[in-house]
A and B are shown apart, each in its own frame.
Chain A
């Protein structure tokens, strides 16, 4: 009630300022008049009595000021006044304002942009209920690392564990959807029926899966993604119950997923695992089959991550003993779902976030420096105001208002820069690396920007405000001693700011330098093949007409026959799992005559099934023996080609050609099907440039006809220009066969280093910005000290000091600051660059060469920045200087 009263009265006096003011005048006037009349009754003259009243009752104007400042509204009013005053003051020194605002805008813009990435990727809640308790489980093997889970193992995990309240299997699936215009491939997941309820997600329309749909042979149903429902069914609710043809089979639509559903990226459809099991009976029943399946678990309410992990490890080692053939040496890996979704990006994003905070600090230090200069120019103004009775608090408040206005304008412009930056960054990161996270300026990001502005105000505003108001009033009012007393301290303070800037810049430069060296080393790594002008497109023959091997063989042969003669095509070939595509097939092999290891220790190479021209198209060198020919067909003896690493490991004498191996491990019931090694080829970097070569085996596609294949075309022209001609050729064979994952091999190579490149570009940008700001900072300090000492320098020159001495003297100041900044920067860099280690390649985070070169860069820039004012000092004309002031 009271509060309401006060607010109402305050608002009233704010809005009707004039009237309030008038009433106050009138009331006080009446008071004065009445008092004076009293005196006059006693015989005083009017003038004397007015004077007496003033003495007795206090000055009227002062009284008014006191009365005015009672209500809260006076605070608002003075703030507004300060703001107007600040705006006027800033307008009067446009160059200061420009530099300060620009500096802040860059700092705040960079922060806003990076924070929106941090938020989108790392902080934004996943669209699942209580995602902290969601764990992703994989199997692990020392030979490969993290691998998919086999479905029978999942069933045992689920049955035996007690630490998870629920578990669900999630297996990636793809379908060919024969569309109206162009056939397309859609992606989805085959899931245990409790998948959605485990995540806490309810279908937008229709029903969730039923527990009965876990059994193999359940009738084909699916849930559509919201976007597929929009694009293919016009958002028509009657889509429920309709049938959609995937791979030539009818699926009945039972529901639509919510619009924000993702796993982790876009999911087109979900099908119950029972439907999947019927079509992938080997994957669903054989413990050795590890396709593309992960397990999702929700921790039981009392369970902890550590408990769950130790229990799961126990279960895995039991299973390894029980089923050594499939599980020997297989363990289990648990990851919180958030980590599983962003693992690759996290270190880069955090490093960049740290970097932009540095940039902002540098920007703030720079603006603080500018304000200090400004403050020392205003010493007399402030001293005068203090002398006239302004309180120190009042002046600090007003100076902070000025800082706030700077930060606000800088922040506003920064936000625009941030908008632009976000767009640039999402393009640079690439949608597939964002794991389905969306990056945009959201409320939280705006809030963050506001926070930064407020923080910046205090960081760069408070110290100068405190400094400038703590002056000796008398000394400063006297002519001629313009701030000389506080000058030394001020200069020291400004030196501290500059040293901070230099040190932070050096840390950023070191980070950028390390990234640059890694990327340079990385790009010099040969991928083992020649990616230039190679186009790659994937096809998966999934419909019933390709159930039989001859049909598959026939299809690929026709594709090669149609595409090879196209103008612009140098060579065309097909192959499974080409490098850098992340798709892979692996199997144990047994080399004839080798001592048999434990089941989990057999060589486990990556397998490619290829056409004869594959090595030519990819330019993978043949080291020994021969490549495949048309004669290596289904009727000929089985042949294979191995890579150099496999050859070196198992045939160290270089006699691999002619030896034999078989797929899988020896079995007592089946006679071994030997494959003769006819050639040895070079290694490729299958999983990206940073990952070392693995064992690889190549087999002719005529002997092992594959359904899911990449068509690889070496062109003599721009490969992207060939896409439509090749699409046309394939459509003429089967117009319903979708083509997907179209890209050039160069793109794949470049994508494999994209996180590093992205980090390098941004770090480079930030460190460049930091360097410029630091250079401005040191330039400012030196210029100022030269200006301050103009007279001293003039006298020295007049007394016979050489211009060289003056130059040395001024440069020496710059150099001293630089060296101190360098030392702190190097210490900081040693401590901080460790966070980059997971992004570095071939460079240690304390690489001496990088540290030396960035130090040199910093020294050169700093010396240049101090040289300009030093030269000015050198040219000071003693006569002019002495007349100065």
Chain B
């Protein structure tokens, strides 16, 4: 399976999921759609990577999940942020900002 352009930058998917869940609890598909929409289609989220990330985040205690009925009466697993997850999101956002600024400076310098 060759990497397609439009795949989420490695390591940033966790952050994007946390950010998405910061607004409201959501099921897997919802998260994928939201990321695609907000990124205006730049990022496409693969089911495999999405659920791996969700499981990893849940193991780390950053998100929690429960089964609920979705808007069209389908049972789905809804994920929401824990307090720990909120804290992590804050710190990652800060770090990301710094990194982006730094990279931008490096790119401009040359």
Instruction: Tell me, yes or no, whether B110 is within 8 Å of chain A by CB.
Output: no
Contact: A71 with B55, CB < 8 Å? yes
Give every chain A residue within 8 A of B48 (Cβ-Cβ): 58, 62-63, 66-67
Instruction: Tell me, yes or no, whether B61 is within 8 Å of chain A by CB.
Output: yes
Give every chain A residue within 8 A of B58 (Cβ-Cβ): 9
Give every chain A residue within 8 A of B46 (Cβ-Cβ): 57-58, 63
Q: Give min CB distance, B84 to chain A, whole Å.
A: 9
Instruction: Tell me, yes or no, whether B83 is within 8 Å of chain A by CB.
Output: no
* Complex: A37 Cα to B59 Cα, angstroms: 30
Q: Please indicate which of the listed interface residues B47, B49, B51, B74 has the most CB atoms of chain A within 10 Å of its own CB.
A: B47
> Which residues of A54-81 are within 8 A (CB) of B?
56-58, 60, 62-63, 66-67, 70-71
> Which residues of B51-78 are within 8 A (CB) of A?
51-52, 55-56, 58-61, 70, 72, 74-77
* Complex: A28 Cα to B55 Cα, angstroms: 13
Determine the residue in chain B with the shortest Cβ distance to A2: B60
Contact: B47 with A33, CB < 8 Å? no
Instruction: Tell me, yes or no, whether A1 is within 8 Å of chain B by CB.
Output: yes
Determine the residue in chain A with the shortest Cβ distance to B56: A70
Q: Give min CB distance, B55 to chain A, whole Å.
A: 5
Instruction: Tell me, yes or no, whether B34 is within 8 Å of chain A by CB.
Output: no
Q: Give min CB distance, A49 to chain B, whole Å.
A: 14
Give every chain B residue within 8 A of A66 (Cβ-Cβ): 48-49, 51-52
Instruction: Tell me, yes or no, whether B43 is within 8 Å of chain A by CB.
Output: no
Q: A2-B60, A70-B56 are in contact. Are A35 and B29 (CB under 8 A)?
A: yes
Give every chain B residue within 8 A of A32 (Cβ-Cβ): 47
Q: Give min CB distance, B23 to chain A, whole Å.
A: 19
Contact: B74 with A70, CB < 8 Å? no
Indicate which residue in A34, A35, A56, A67 contacts B74 across the interface (CB closer than 8 Å).
A34
Determine the residue in chain A with the shortest Cβ distance to B58: A9
Contact: A2 with B61, CB < 8 Å? yes
> Could you count the A-B residue pairs with CB atoms below 8 Å apart for me: how many are there?
75
Give every chain A residue within 8 A of B77 (Cβ-Cβ): 23, 26-27, 30
Q: Give min CB distance, A30 to chain B, whole Å.
A: 5
Instruction: Tell me, yes or no, whether A5 is within 8 Å of chain B by CB.
Output: yes
Instruction: Tell me, yes or no, whether A650 is within 8 Å of chain B by CB.
Output: no
Give every chain A residue within 8 A of B32 (Cβ-Cβ): 31, 35, 57
Determine the residue in chain B with the shortest Cβ distance to A8: B59
Indicate which residue in A5, A30, A70 contacts B76 across the interface (CB closer than 8 Å).
A30
Chain A 577-611 per-residue mask, 1 if CB under 8 angstroms from chain B, else 0: 00000000000000000000000000000000000
Chain B 4-45 per-residue mask, 1 if CB under 8 angstroms from chain A, else 0: 000000000000000000000001110011000000000011
Q: A5-B61, A6-B59, A58-B46 are in contact. Are A28 and B51 (CB under 8 A)?
A: yes
Determine the residue in chain A with the shortest Cβ distance to B30: A34
Contact: A67 with B60, CB < 8 Å? no
* Complex: A9 Cα to B61 Cα, angstroms: 10
Q: Give min CB distance, B41 to chain A, whole Å.
A: 12
How many residues on chain A are close to B (CB under 8 Å)?
A: 28
* Complex: A34 Cα to B56 Cα, angstroms: 23
Determine the residue in chain B with the shortest Cβ distance to A54: B47
Q: Give min CB distance, A694 to chain B, whole Å.
A: 80
Contact: A27 with B76, CB < 8 Å? yes
Chain B 71-102 per-residue mask, 1 if CB under 8 angstroms from chain A, else 0: 01011110000000000000000000000000
Q: Give min CB distance, A58 to chain B, whole Å.
A: 5
Indicate which residue in B45, B47, B74, B75 contacts A28 across the interface (CB closer than 8 Å).
B47
Contact: B47 with A31, CB < 8 Å? yes
* Complex: A575 Cα to B60 Cα, angstroms: 86
* Complex: A587 Cα to B48 Cα, angstroms: 94
Determine the residue in chain B with the shortest Cβ distance to A9: B59
Contact: A33 with B55, CB < 8 Å? no
Give every chain B residue within 8 A of A23 (Cβ-Cβ): 77
* Complex: A66 Cα to B53 Cα, angstroms: 10
How many residues on chain B are close to A (CB under 8 Å)?
A: 26
Give every chain B residue within 8 A of A57 (Cβ-Cβ): 32, 45-47
> Which residues of A1-45 are within 8 A (CB) of B?
1-2, 5-6, 9, 23-24, 26-28, 30-35, 37-38
* Complex: A5 Cα to B52 Cα, angstroms: 17
* Complex: A454 Cα to B70 Cα, angstroms: 52
Contact: B51 with A63, CB < 8 Å? yes
Q: Give min CB distance, A10 to chain B, whole Å.
A: 8
* Complex: A178 Cα to B33 Cα, angstroms: 99
Q: Give min CB distance, B58 to chain A, whole Å.
A: 8
Contact: A70 with B52, CB < 8 Å? yes
Q: Give min CB distance, A452 to chain B, whole Å.
A: 37
* Complex: A24 Cα to B46 Cα, angstroms: 16
Give every chain A residue within 8 A of B44 (Cβ-Cβ): 56
Contact: A5 with B55, CB < 8 Å? no
* Complex: A30 Cα to B46 Cα, angstroms: 15
* Complex: A62 Cα to B76 Cα, angstroms: 21
Q: A30-B74, A31-B28 are in contact. Are A63 and B59 (CB under 8 A)?
A: no
Determine the residue in chain B with the shortest Cβ distance to A60: B47
Determine the residue in chain B with the shortest Cβ distance to A57: B47
* Complex: A483 Cα to B101 Cα, angstroms: 57
Determine the residue in chain A with the shortest Cβ distance to B60: A2
Q: Give min CB distance, B5 to chain A, whole Å.
A: 14
Q: Give min CB distance, A653 to chain B, whole Å.
A: 100
Determine the residue in chain B with the shortest Cβ distance to A56: B44
* Complex: A861 Cα to B19 Cα, angstroms: 76
Give every chain B residue within 8 A of A33 (Cβ-Cβ): 74
Contact: A5 with B29, CB < 8 Å? no
Q: Give min CB distance, B82 to chain A, whole Å.
A: 11
Q: Give min CB distance, A443 to chain B, whole Å.
A: 36
Q: Give min CB distance, B105 to chain A, whole Å.
A: 34
* Complex: A32 Cα to B61 Cα, angstroms: 26
Contact: B29 with A71, CB < 8 Å? no
* Complex: A242 Cα to B76 Cα, angstroms: 85
Contact: A31 with B52, CB < 8 Å? no
Determine the residue in chain A with the shortest Cβ distance to B44: A56
Contact: A34 with B29, CB < 8 Å? yes
Q: A2-B60, A33-B74, A57-B47 are in contact. Are A27 and B55 (CB under 8 A)?
A: no
Contact: A67 with B55, CB < 8 Å? yes
Contact: A30 with B29, CB < 8 Å? yes
Give every chain B residue within 8 A of A30 (Cβ-Cβ): 27-29, 70, 74-77
Contact: B74 with A5, CB < 8 Å? no
Determine the residue in chain B with the shortest Cβ distance to A26: B75
Q: Give min CB distance, B56 to chain A, whole Å.
A: 6
* Complex: A74 Cα to B97 Cα, angstroms: 36
Give every chain A residue within 8 A of B29 (Cβ-Cβ): 30-31, 34-35
* Complex: A197 Cα to B76 Cα, angstroms: 75
* Complex: A25 Cα to B36 Cα, angstroms: 24
* Complex: A9 Cα to B57 Cα, angstroms: 12
Q: Give min CB distance, A21 to chain B, whole Å.
A: 13
Give every chain A residue within 8 A of B45 (Cβ-Cβ): 57
Determine the residue in chain B with the shortest Cβ distance to A34: B29
> Which residues of A687-742 are within 8 A (CB) of B?
none
* Complex: A70 Cα to B50 Cα, angstroms: 12
Chain A 602-629 per-residue mask, 1 if CB under 8 angstroms from chain B, else 0: 0000000000000000000000000000
* Complex: A657 Cα to B4 Cα, angstroms: 113
Q: Give min CB distance, A660 to chain B, whole Å.
A: 100
Contact: B60 with A5, CB < 8 Å? yes
Give every chain A residue within 8 A of B56 (Cβ-Cβ): 70
Q: A30-B74, A34-B74, A71-B55 are in contact. Are A63 and B47 (CB under 8 A)?
A: yes
Determine the residue in chain A with the shortest Cβ distance to B46: A58
Q: Please indicate which of the listed interface residues A33, A60, A62, A67 has the most CB atoms of chain B within 10 Å of its own CB.
A: A67
Q: List 18 A-B contacts (CB under 8 A).
A: A5-B61, A6-B59, A6-B60, A9-B59, A27-B76, A27-B77, A28-B47, A34-B29, A35-B32, A37-B72, A38-B33, A57-B32, A57-B45, A58-B48, A63-B48, A63-B51, A66-B52, A70-B56
Further contacts, 20 of them, CB under 8 A, given A6-B60, A30-B70, A67-B52 = A2-B60, A26-B77, A27-B76, A28-B47, A30-B74, A30-B76, A30-B77, A31-B29, A34-B29, A34-B76, A35-B32, A38-B33, A56-B44, A57-B32, A57-B46, A57-B47, A58-B47, A66-B51, A70-B56, A71-B59
Closest A-B pairs by Cβ, 6 of them: A63-B48, A34-B29, A66-B48, A57-B47, A63-B47, A67-B51
